C-alpha cells in the first residue's frame, strides 16, 4: 500500500509536474498568442495609419492636381494674353511704320515743294540760295570764283499769248530742259518763276569764263522750241555777277545779276551784261546826282508838289501831302525815290528837309492869307531828320517864322523811325502833339512794324500803303490786311487814309469798308503849288 501510496505520490508528483509543465507551456503559448495578437493589432494600426497617410497623400495629390489644372489654365490664359499683346504690338508697329512712311512721304513732299519748282522740277530760289551759300563757303577758302547768271526771256508776253495757258507750261519745261542739257554737271539751273531762271556756275576761273557760258546759252536759243507742233523762237537776256567781285552774299550776288539783266534789256535784249560794268555806271550816276544835289538848293532846283487827300464821305479835299521834286537841268524831273536816300547818305537831307518844312508852312500861310479855306499839309520826315536832336527847335522855329498854326501842319513818320529809340521818339512826338501838330504813320505795315508802336506812339492817323491797295480785287490777303488795319485804327480811335488809289473798284472797296480818307491818282496826282492853288480856289 505504501508502495501504492508512494507510487501514487510519485504519479501525482509526476502529474503535478506534468501539469505545471503543461501550464507553463500553455502560458507560454498564450503569451505567444497574445504577443502575436498584439503584433497583429500593431500591424493593423500601422496599416490603418498607413492608409490614413495614403488617403492624406491622395488628398494632397488631388489638391496639387487641382492646383496644376488651375496653373495650367492660368498658363493658357497668359499664353492667350501674350498672343493678344503680340497681335496688338504687331498692329501698332504696322501702324507706326505706316505713319512713319506717310510722314516721310509728307516731308519729302514738303521738301519738294519748298526746294523745287513744281512745273519744271528744277531747284527753286530757296534751294539755289542754299547751294550758292554752300559754294560761297567753299570758294572763300579756295579763292575760287562763282558765276551767277540771271536769265529772263525777251518779249515773253506775245509768246505767252500765242501759246495760251495750256502750252505755256510745256514751253517753259522745254526751256528748262535745254538749259539743263547745256549746263549739265558744270552748274545748277534753277527757276525763279515765270520766265526767269538762274544758273550758278561754281569753280569758275574768271569772269570771262562765266561770260562764255552766257554766250553759249544765248547761241542755244537760236534754235526754235517745239511746242504743240509750233516752232517758237525766243531770245534771252542775261545778267552776270561773279563772286567775290560783285558780292559776297547770295542775296547781293543774285540782286546784282538781276540788275545786270535789266541793263541787258535796256541795251537791246538778246545779250549778256556783266554786273561789274553796270555797278560802275550806277556809282558814277549816283556820284553825279549827289554832286548836283549839293547845288540844287542854291540853284533853286527843288520844288514841292502837293497831292490832295479826299474825304470819302464828302469827296472834299481835307488835306495835302507835300512831295519833293528835283528839276534837274539835264535829267529833267528827278523823283524823290532817286535822290532822298542819296541825300540821307550824304547828310544833305537835313538842309533839304528844313527847306521843305519852311516852304510848305510858308505856302500854307500864304494861301490862308489869300482867303483859301485853311487846310492841313503833311510833310514827310526822314529818319535822319529825327536823329538830329534839334528837330523840335527846328519845327518850332519854322512855325514861329511862318506864323502858321501848328494844327495845319502834319508830320509823316515811318515805322523805322519809331524803331530806333522809342523813348526819345515818344518824347519828341508828345512835344509835337502838345503843340497841336498832327502825326501820321506812313506806309504802315511795310517795314519791320510792331503793333506795339500803335499803342506807344502818340499818333493821329495811319496811312495804308499802295502795295496793299493794289491787291484789292487781285489778292484776297491784301483785302483782309486792309480790312484789319481799318478796324484796328477805328478801335484805337485813329484816323485812316488809303494811299495810291487808282481805280473805281479800289475806291468803292475802301468806301464799303468805311476807310475815312483817300489819296491817289484816281482823284488827283501830285501837283505844283500853282495848280493846287487853282484847285483850292475852285473848292473854297
Ligand atoms: P510817300 O510818302 O509814301 O508818298 C506817296 C507816294 O506815292 C508819292 O510818290 C506819290 O506821288 C505816290 N502816289 C500817290 N498816289 C499814287 C497813285 O495813285 N499811284 C501811284 N503810282 N503813285 C501814287 P513820290 O512823290 O515819288 O514820293 C516817294 C516817296 O519819297 C514818298 O513816299 C516819301 O517817302 C519820299 N518823299 C517825298 N517827298 C519827301 C520829302 O520832302 N522828304 C522826305 N524825307 N521824303 C520824301
Ligand atoms: Mg508820305
Ligand atoms: Mg506812303
CATH number for the domain spanning 413: value is: 3.20.20.450
State the Cα–Cα distance between residues 353 and 340, nearest whole angstrom: 10
Tell me the best of 347, 356, 380 to mutate to test the pocket of ligand 1, counting ligand atoms within 8 Å of each CB and taking the most: 380
| Residues in the ligand 1 pocket, defined by CB under 6 Å | 307, 323-324, 335-337, 340, 353, 356, 380-382, 412, 442-443, 466, 499-502, 519-521, 526
Residue 284 lies in a domain: no
Predicted TM-score (pTM) of this structure: 0.60
Same domain, 74 and 131: no
Do 346 and 407 have their domain in common?
A: yes
261 with 298, same domain: the answer is no
CATH number of the domain residue 154 falls in: 3.30.70.270
Count the alpha carbons within 13 Å of 451 in the hemisphere toward its beta carbon.
Answer: 5
Residues 44 and 167 grouped into a single domain: no
Of 115, 144, 175, at which residue does a domain stop? 115
For a mutational test of ligand 1's pocket, the pick from 304, 310, 320, 323, i.e. the residue with the most ligand atoms closer than 8 A to its C-beta, is 323
> By the 8 A CB rule, do 261 and 150 touch?
yes
Judge if 75 and 132 occupy the same domain. no
523, 491: one domain: yes
**How far, in Å, is the centroid of ligand 2 from the Cα of 321?**
7
- CA-to-CA distance for 58 and 87, rounded, in angstroms? 42
**CB–CB of 239/259 below 8 Å?**
yes
Angle at 71 between CA 68 and CA 72, to 5 degrees: 85
Residues 323 and 436 in one domain: yes
Question: Residues near 49 by Cβ (< 8 Å), separated by ≥ 6?
Answer: none
Do 511 and 504 form a contact (C-beta atoms < 8 A)? Answer: no
Q: What is the largest CA-CA distance in the chain?
A: 210
Say if residue 359 is in the same domain as residue 476: yes
3-state secondary structure of 300: coil
Write down which residue in 71, 94, 115 finishes a domain: 115
How many structural domains comprise the chain? 3
Q: Calculate the CA dihedral of residues 326, 332, 335, 337 and round it to 10 degrees.
A: -100
End residue of a domain, out of 83, 115, 147: 115
What's the gap in Å between 526 CA and the centre of ligand 1?
Answer: 9
Q: Are 191 and 124 in contact (CB under 8 A)?
A: yes
- For atom 13 of ligand 1, the residue with the nearest CA is 500
**Distance from the CA of 24 to the center of ligand 2, in angstroms?**
155
DSSP summary character for residue 187: S
Domain carrying residue 101: 1-115
From the list 242, 92, 239, 94, the residue with the least C-alpha distance to 152 is 239
Interatomic CA distance for residues 279 and 285, integer angstroms: 10
Q: Is residue 283, in this structure, part of any structural domain at all?
A: no
Q: Is residue 101, in this structure, part of any structural domain at all? A: yes
Helix axis angle for 156-183 and 207-220, nearest 10°, is: 120
Report the separation in Å between the CA atom of 258 and the middle of ligand 1, taken as the mean of its atom positions.
25
Per-residue pLDDT of the chain (540 residues; tens, 9 = 90+): 556 667 766 766 776 677 677 777 877 887 888 788 788 878 888 888 888 988 898 998 888 888 888 888 988 888 999 898 898 889 988 988 888 888 888 877 777 778 899 899 999 999 999 999 999 999 888 878 999 999 999 988 888 878 887 798 999 999 999 999 999 999 999 999 899 999 999 988 888 999 999 999 999 999 999 998 888 999 999 999 999 989 899 999 999 999 899 889 988 999 999 988 777 777 778 888 888 998 998 999 999 999 999 999 999 999 999 999 999 999 899 999 989 988 998 889 999 999 999 999 999 999 999 999 999 999 999 988 988 778 999 999 999 999 999 999 999 998 878 776 778 889 999 999 999 999 999 998 876 667 877 888 899 999 999 999 999 998 899 999 999 999 999 999 999 999 999 999 999 999 999 999 999 999 999 999 999 999 999 887
263 and 143 in a single domain? The answer is: yes
350 and 242 housed in the same domain: no
6 in a structural domain: yes
Distance CA 470, CA 466 (A): 6
| Residue 280, in any domain of the structure | no
Given a contact cutoff of 8 angstroms between Cβ atoms, the answer to whether 495 and 517 are in contact is yes
Amino acid at each position: 500500500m505504501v508502495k501504492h501510496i508512494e507510487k501514487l505520490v510519485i504519479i501525482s508528483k509526476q502529474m503535478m509536474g506534468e501539469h505545471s509543465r503543461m501550464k507553463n507551456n500553455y502560458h507560454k503559448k498564450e503569451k505567444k498568442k497574445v504577443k502575436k495578437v498584439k503584433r497583429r493589432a500593431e500591424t493593423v494600426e500601422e496599416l490603418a495609419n498607413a492608409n490614413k497617410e495614403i488617403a492624406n497623400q491622395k488628398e494632397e495629390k488631388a489638391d496639387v492636381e487641382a492646383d496644376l489644372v488651375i496653373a495650367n489654365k492660368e498658363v493658357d490664359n497668359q499664353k492667350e494674353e501674350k498672343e493678344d499683346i503680340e497681335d496688338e504690338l504687331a498692329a501698332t508697329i504696322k501702324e507706326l511704320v505706316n505713319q512713319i512712311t506717310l510722314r516721310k512721304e509728307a516731308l519729302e513732299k514738303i521738301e519738294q515743294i519748298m526746294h523745287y519748282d513744281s512745273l519744271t522740277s528744277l531747284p527753286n530760289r530757296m534751294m539755289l540760295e542754299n547751294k550758292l551759300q554752300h559754294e560761297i563757303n567753299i570758294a572763300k577758302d579756295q579763292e575760287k570764283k562763282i558765276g551767277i547768271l540771271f536769265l529772263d526771256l525777251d518779249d515773253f508776253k506775245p509768246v505767252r499769248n500765242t501759246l495760251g495757258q495750256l502750252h505755256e507750261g510745256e514751253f517753259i519745261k522745254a526751256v528748262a530742259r535745254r538749259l539743263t542739257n547745256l549746263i549739265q554737271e558744270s552748274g545748277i539751273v534753277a527757276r525763279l518763276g515765270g520766265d526767269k531762271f538762274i544758273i550758278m556756275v561754281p569753280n569758275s576761273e574768271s569772269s570771262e569764263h562765266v561770260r562764255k557760258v552766257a554766250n553759249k546759252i544765248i547761241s542755244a536759243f537760236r534754235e526754235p522750241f517745239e511746242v504743240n507742233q509750233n516752232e517758237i523762237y525766243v531770245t534771252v537776256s542775261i545778267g552776270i555777277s561773279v563772286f567775290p567781285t560783285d558780292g559776297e552774299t547770295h542775296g547781293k550776288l543774285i540782286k546784282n545779276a538781276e540788275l545786270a539783266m535789266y541793263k541787258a534789256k535796256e541795251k537791246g535784249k538778246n545779250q549778256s551784261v556783266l554786273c561789274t560794268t553796270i555797278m560802275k555806271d550806277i556809282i558814277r550816276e549816283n556820284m553825279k546826282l549827289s554832286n548836283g544835289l549839293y547845288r540844287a538848293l542854291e540853284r533853286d532846283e527843288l520844288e514841292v508838289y502837293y497831292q490832295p487827300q479826299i474825304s470819302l464821305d464828302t469827296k472834299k479835299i481835307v488835306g495835302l501831302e507835300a512831295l519833293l521834286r528835283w528839276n534837274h537841268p539835264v535829267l529833267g524831273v528827278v523823283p524823290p525815290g532817286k535822290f532822298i536816300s542819296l541825300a540821307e547818305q550824304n547828310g544833305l537831307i537835313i538842309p533839304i528837309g528844313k527847306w521843305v518844312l519852311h516852304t510848305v508852312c510858308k505856302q500854307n500861310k500864304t494861301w490862308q492869307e489869300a482867303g483859301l479855306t485853311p487846310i492841313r499839309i503833311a510833310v514827310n520826315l526822314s529818319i535822319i531828320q529825327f536823329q538830329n536832336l534839334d528837330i523840335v527847335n527846328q519845327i518850332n522855329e519854322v512855325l514861329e517864322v511862318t506864323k502858321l498854326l501848328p494844327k495845319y501842319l502834319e508830320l509823316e513818320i515811318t515805322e523805322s523811325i519809331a524803331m530806333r529809340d522809342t523813348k526819345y521818339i515818344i518824347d519828341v512826338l508828345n512835344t509835337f502833339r502838345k503843340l497841336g501838330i498832327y502825326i501820321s504813320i506812313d506806309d504802315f505795315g511795310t517795314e519791320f512794324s510792331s503793333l506795339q508802336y500803335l499803342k506807344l506812339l502818340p499818333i493821329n492817323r495811319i496811312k495804308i500803303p499802295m502795295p496793299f491797295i493794289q491787291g484789292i480785287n487781285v489778292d484776297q490777303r491784301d483785302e483782309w490786311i486792309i480790312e484789319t488795319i481799318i478796324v484796328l485804327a477805328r478801335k484805337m480811335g485813329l484816323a485812316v487814309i488809303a494811299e495810291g488809289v487808282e481805280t473805281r473798284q479800289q475806291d468803292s472797296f475802301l468806301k464799303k469798308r468805311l476807310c475815312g480818307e483817300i489819296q491817289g491818282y484816281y482823284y488827283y496826282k501830285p501837283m505844283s503849288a500853282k495848280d493846287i492853288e487853282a484847285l483850292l480856289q475852285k473848292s473854297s
